[in-house]
Amino acid sequence: MVDDPRARPVRAVRLRPVGDAAPELRYRVVHGYRRAYRMAGDGPALVLVHGIGDSSATWADLIPPLARTHTVIAPDLLGHGDSDKPRADYSVAAYANGVRDLLTTLGIESATLVGHSLGGGVAMQFAYQFPERTERLVLVGAGGVGREVNPVLRLVSLPGAHLMLSALRLPGMRLQVGLAVRLMKLLDTDLGQDAPDILNLVDALPDETSRNAFIRTLRAVVDWRGQVVTMLDRCYLTEGMPTMLLWGDRDSVVPVRHAHRAHEAMPGSRLEIFEGAGHFPFHTDPARFVSLVEEFTATTGPAHWSREHWRELLREGRPDGPRARAVERDLREASERSAT
């Protein structure tokens, strides 16, 4: 996909003053649907893709510091946040198309993609569908590496999920759930690390339209057995693509062993573990997160896509050897399908 980025000069970091507040939402209509996004800064493009049920607001504290060295774009994916929530295709591949189309309307031809959870799967799918527009990948607690996922998400994928999500908003339920969360934190469980952020996602589903979009998105990637899409079968295509994996070692949604599995499957990738952090390491330690992203983009050259190299990778397929056999084993165990 790329030549050796180490052979190119490293871009110098130039700090630009920006405001401390996260930028206000802006809107673009694409294919007849309103897409909300935040945009700030100047410099190489950096796209922040949130996870399921979340929105661009999850990046609020990180956008101003990242905007000192980058043009930061943080969309609300369709069906999320302030974007429209039609009865539509909420697959990973469709989200990758949506990110491409929004970037095109903004005049951005290529970018480094930072994806969290579902957004990590979207970022990886974007790189597969549009390698010529992908400069680097930063995958944060990304989905699509193995079947394992938090049992709560598996439960919500079942019939009747609408009723369960609606019940969480009944009077008194928030208090009971809050007590359970405090108990989990008191017992120092991994789920207790993530429960406050997960509850915030429930609060972001105030009406039936929002809940329907959430469930349609979830069922595109999770069923009662766990995650149903994989990126492992195509990870070899990231050869030469600067890639960094960021994970919390106490992630209760996507276990940290998936980070090591992805690292093994992605040639030349870099792995950074946030000790004591859960599924939202950029909330636990935003300063370290910003520092790592800035250092990563400053010390790696953007991927240089070549049609000939892409054809060669596809023809050769996954390489042989211990790493390839480990990927094959993981694929058999997961019995997942590709996103396209």
**Pick the catalytic residue: 251, 258, 263, 269?**
251
Question: Residue 116 catalytic?
Answer: no
**Pick the catalytic residue: 117, 157, 252, 269?**
117
Per this entry, what is the length of the chain? 340
Q: 71 - beta bridge partners?
A: 41, 45
302: Cβ contacts below 8 Å, ≥ 6 apart: 5, 44, 110, 112, 135, 136, 242
**Pick the catalytic residue: 70, 263, 279, 283?**
279
Q: Are 18 and 64 in contact (CB under 8 A)?
A: yes
42: Cβ contacts below 8 Å, ≥ 6 apart: 16, 67, 70, 71
Question: Residue 117 catalytic?
Answer: yes
CA dist., res. 53 & res. 280, Å (int)? 14
Question: Residue 279 catalytic?
Answer: yes
Supply the residues annotated as catalytic: 117, 251, 279
